[in-house]
Amino acid sequence: MEDVSVLRSGVPHATFHVLEWLVHFVYIVRCADGTLYTGYARNPRARVAVHNTGRGARYTSGRRPVSLVYSEECESQGAALSREYQLKRWTRRRKEALIKLRKAARSTAGTRPTAR
């Protein structure tokens, strides 16, 4: 309730705080042993921190530290959970290709083509 009244007052931080809970993500982390773990979270960076305390998933608790290698924003919780299920069925090779594709897209984002 408090966040809504602050939101109506126009404070940007409160707006972010409220909207933050409307976003859903699928994420992939790389474990210390090189394996990949796929999950769902509202805040992937915070979820990685939980994984690294050993309180995340049972799978990652013995494979720490983990690092975030991929995250994808989804329209709804249902869409995120469906995508998580889809990605969990992918082969490691296909997940690695997805991670590589996302890295390449981010590295070229914001760069201008050179004039020839």
**Coil, helix or strand at residue 51:** helix
Domains, the chain, in order of start with CATH, read 23-108 (3.40.1440.10)
Angle at 29 between CA 25 and CA 31, to 5 degrees: 160
Give me the pLDDT at residue 36, please. 98
- Residue 94 has a pLDDT of 98
As a whole number of angstroms, the longest Cα–Cα distance in the chain is: 57
> How deeply is 99 buried, as exposed, middle or buried, from its count of CB atoms within 10 A (0-12, 13-18, 19+)?
middle
Q: Which helix (H) or strand (E) holds 37?
A: strand 36-41
pLDDT of residue 113 exceeding 60: no
**Beta pairing partners, 30:** 36, 67
Q: Which tens digits make up the pLDDT trace of 61-92?
A: 999 999 999 999 999 999 999 999 999 999 99
